[in-house]
Every structure is written in C-alpha cells, then in structure tokens.
Structure 1
C-alpha cells in the first residue's frame, strides 16, 4: 500500500482551511494536493481537495491581528507576569479549545518577526477576555507590559499533542501532571475533560514553579491536587495510575519532563492515552516558515499545525 499519511492537521475543517499550504501543494492532510495520484488522508470531516477545487477564486481566510486592550497586569515574580487581555468576541470562543494559543506583539512593533506564541491559560467568553502568563526575557516579550494595548493574532490550536485522545475520553479516570510554565495550558485541558464527564486529579511537580493563578483555578473546579517530587516519587504516580485504572494522562512540562512521565505511564500500560504540551519552536503558526519542523519516523512534520502522536514524538528525543 505504500506510506500512509497519518498526520492530522489542527486547522482541518476549521474556517482557516484550506490554508496557504493547500494552494501551494504542501497540504499537511491531502496527498492529492501534494501531487500524489491516490488519496491517503485520515478523514477529518472535510475533503480539503474538494474545497480547493471549488474555491480557487476565493480568498484564503487568514487569521487577523487585533490591537487589544490590556485589562490587567500582575507581576508573579521576577520577569514573570499574569496578563488579562480583552479580545474580539468573534475569536474568544475559539480560544477555549485545548492547546489554543495566540501570537502576541508589543504595541510599538510593526513587523511580524516580533510575534511571540503564548499559550492561553483561561478564557471568559461572557466578558470576552483571555488570561495568559508571559516571561519577559527577550525583545519579543520585554516591552509588552509597557503599554495598555497589545497586538493579538489568532486563534491557533496546536499547543498540545494528543488532542484526539483527549477529546475521545469520556467518563474515565484521568490524571494531569504539571511542571514549569507549561502548566498554564492545563486549564482548558481540565475543562474539556470535565465537560466529557471524566474524573480528574492533578499532580504538580514540587521541584518547579507552581503558579498560584493556575492552582487556584484548578481548585475552584473542585479538582484534588497533590504536590509531589516527580523525579523521586515515580512510584507514587505509577501506583496512582494502577490503583485508579487511569485511562488518560496529560503531561504539561518541558520535553524531558514529558518523556519521564511517558516512561512511568508506559511501565503501567501503553494503552493509557497520553497527551503532552507542544514545546517546539513556533514562529509563524501557519506551517510556512519551517521553524517548527520535526522529523518523526523519517517524515518531516510541521509541529505548529500537525497533530503528532505524543509517544512517537517523545521517542525521537535523545
């Protein structure tokens, strides 16, 4: 049969599909648009080939940049800030999806080279604002808090790998394990799991920063939290997984941390669904610049748009 394209595109079926990649012959999903003679896509509810053929004369729906009011800035610690941003009503609902992120740019910057990908921590659809946490550490982020407005571009969806397993987990026991600044992605993850009537518990790694803003939101959802030295208490996690028959695990941390969690999970059962934070370099968010490209099983994947199997990705790490 030959190689089958197993990539899943985070934008497929959304209003941002077909995108520029589809018209340039580089579509992540569609082999026909890439010049092959047969279709080998994994169906995502839309035929991108058909959409391109029927919409050749229509302009591509691109994500727009909005100058948004900064409603609140709170210093968490040195160079770390919690920010609440008022965003347009037409995008706020899309930013509550697991893995949603935006590109932020300081008000005084004009070029897109200053765009910084920032995970959405939480969303208030009624009052139309998002909450993010930024680390002021370079030219892209240092000046954002110096103004009462910020450029916001989005929504983008691929801040988390393994969303299919996440979305398809219903009425099961789930465990969320958090480490470092990747913990900000957990709120939308937990909300989705609760929406699917799952039971959720959370473990924070005691050897890393624990953001009170994240911890308080989790507690307000009625979630039990444990604070554990993940590196020394691996048995605590494996015992919890076995004892509670956990079916889904989300690991929000750096790549090395996520690999440690994968190894713990797999020692219990490789059938446990695993989702992880996407920590790859992202610049344009559209699969065009190539900065996010990774190689999985010999195949190049654009990790800003491609949904990559969490285990396959982590196994490529040394």
Structure 2
C-alpha cells in the first residue's frame, strides 16, 4: 500500500479544495502543506499547495446546509423508509457520483451534532429530487420522517473505497455484489459502469434485506440480476468470476461481508479490481472531528475523505 500522503482525497480538485485541513497543515494529499520538504503527492490535478497560497485571504468554500422540503415518504417495510427530498440543482449535480452521500438532520435540530450521513440512492434531475433510504434507529434519525422539511448538507463523496477503479473501468466484465441496506448506494455505481460501456451483472444476497425499489431501478437500467444465497453458493460465485473473466468487482455490504467477497475474488485472481462500500463511522464528513480516523498499515487515515485501497482496508480491520 502507498504511504498515507499518497492517498487520494475525495475532495481534491473539487471546489471544496483547499479545505480546512490544508489551512491547518493537515492536508490528506499535499505533503508540502504539512511542512514536509519533498513533494511526492503524485497528484495530477491543480496544485493544492499553489491554490492554498493564492487563496490565503479567501474563505474556505464550505458545504452549505439547506432546509429542503420532503416531497414524499414511503415505508418499504421492516421500519425502512424511502424519502424523496427537493434539493437545489446545484447540489444534485454532484450527488450522481459513485459514493456520494449527504448529511441530514430533522428540521427541529439546529446543532450539527445531529447530522447523520445518508447514502444517495438516486437522483431525479428533472424534478430536483434526491432519493435516500433511512431506517430510523437512534436520536439522529428518529425524527427525520416526522417533518415536512429536513436540513440537508452536501455533497460528500467518500461513501465508497475504490472510486477510481469504478470510474476507470471501461468495456470490462464487471460484477456488483450487494448485501443488506448497503445495496442503496449501488445505483450510482451501476450507472457509471454502464456509462463506460461495461457489462454489468448484479448478485444480491437473498439471505439479507432486499429492497424492491432497488431491484426495480436495476431492472430499469437493464442489468442482469441474480438473487442467491452467497454463503451457500460460494463455489458458484468463484466459478462465475473465473468463467466470465470478471475484471472488476464492487461489494456493497458491511465490513465482514466485504471481507468475505474479497477472499472469494482473491481466490480467483488477486489482481481483479475491487471496490467496496465505506461502512466506517462518519460524523462531520470533513476530516476534522476525528471520528472516522482508522489505522491502515501503521498510518492514521481520515476515512471520511481519504480513498483507501479496498484490500488494505479490509486486511487492517482484524475481521
């Protein structure tokens, strides 16, 4: 695995860069801003250090919190809700990226401590609608469905590790494997893979929660969907990857599930590109609070912003 300073920041090159971390000398990407003497960031975009020097007297471009109208709430079963929210088109444009998420809190909450990260399921540009799925559990999410408006802050981009592999996959045989509520962020992944003319097949674990709304959207995209017991059919999955020359796999599930899929993929070929859902704790989304910090190969990494090699991450989790 590359050194921590060679990790790609999900915000690098966006309008949110340089961020507060760069100004404080803690930039994820740029070693010069951290006081190091050698520039080895391998970044091929606009130089973060130069941008920082030019913008010293310019306020950091921060994500805005917007009070948005809830257009529709539908119960999907098992205390899970599909929420359609009217959001500004300026925000919606970025929310179609794989791994995009927002911070949402109920209308009656003013403090940012009530923000909860929610993965983007889908966007409707024509009607300026953001679609998310929420399972109300704790104090942060219980009240969201009880109001006609919610606070939405975003966009954020690091809900997936392996975004580069997703965006660079072109005309390949690809496999998307989904488990439980993590299937929600698969729509943007599948859309990007299809845009890049990849052959996409989706396996869904039928021993976990299956959301019909996700199945319907995947069918509309025209992909082949297979519902299977991924524990019982391990050998079938291995054979499928081998026979179909699969070159890229996306695993959307909790860490244990993703580790299980990684082991299957690696048993065929450890060189197959692998991307996984980011299931880490995220609080502020800006790498400031430290709640998302994890250790990978002896390096402390802010997992809400830094892209991490999927295999290095899963092997570091002691699963």
Work out whether the TM-score is over 0.5.
yes
* 3-state SS in 1 of match to 2:66: strand
Aligned to 1:18: 18
Secondary structure at 1:186's aligned position in 2?
helix
Q: Is the contact between residue 5 and residue 42 of structure 1 (CA under 8 Å) also seen in structure 2?
A: no
Secondary structure of the 2:6 match is coil
Aligned partners of 2:183 and 2:252 also within 8 Å: yes
**3-state SS of the aligned residue for 2:104?**
strand
Distance in structure 1 (CA, Å) of the matches to 2:249 and 2:295: 24
Alignment of 1:1-318 (within 5 A): 5-318=5-318
Count of residues in correspondence between the two structures: 317
Contact 2:4–2:301, Cα closer than 8 Å, also in 1: no
TM-score, normalisation: structure 2: 0.98
CA distance in 1, matches of 2:6, 2:270: 19
How far apart are the structure 1 equivalents of 2:231 and 2:52? 49
Runs of 4+ in 1 over 6 A off after TM superposition: none
The gaps in structure 1 that reach 5 residues or longer are: none
- 2:4–2:299 contact (8 Å) kept in structure 1: no
C-alpha RMSD over aligned residues: 1.1
1:42 CA displacement: 2.2
- Aligned partner of residue 121 in structure 1, secondary structure: strand
Report the Cα offset of residue 126 of structure 1: 1.9
TM-score by length of 1: 0.98
Q: Is the 8 A contact 2:11 2:17 kept in 1?
A: yes
**Structure 1 position 80, deviation (Å):** 1.0
Q: Mind listing any 5+ residue stretches in structure 2 that lack a counterpart?
A: none
Offset at residue 4 of structure 1 (A): 7.0
The Cα offsets for residues 153-202 of structure 1, whole Å up to 9 and x where unpaired, read as 00000000001111111001100000011000000000000000001000
Paired with 1:47 and 1:216, the residues of 2 have a C-alpha distance of 43
Matched residue of 1:181: which SS?
A: helix
Q: 1:44: how far off? A: 4.1
Distance in 2 separating the partners of 1:44 and 1:79: 45
The 8 Å contact of residues 166 and 193 in structure 1, kept in 2 or not, is answered as yes
Q: Counterparts of 1:86 and 1:287 in 2: how far apart (Å)?
A: 27
Deviation at 1:221, TM superposition (A): 0.7
Q: Distance in 2 between matches of 1:212 and 1:306?
A: 32
Instruction: Tell whether the 8 Å contact from 1:253 to 1:277 is kept in structure 2 after alignment.
Output: yes
CA distance in 2, matches of 1:125, 1:141: 26
* 1:102-129, Cα deviation, whole Å (9 max, x unpaired): 0000000000000000000001112111
Secondary structure of the equivalent of 1:85? strand
1:210 counterpart SS class: coil
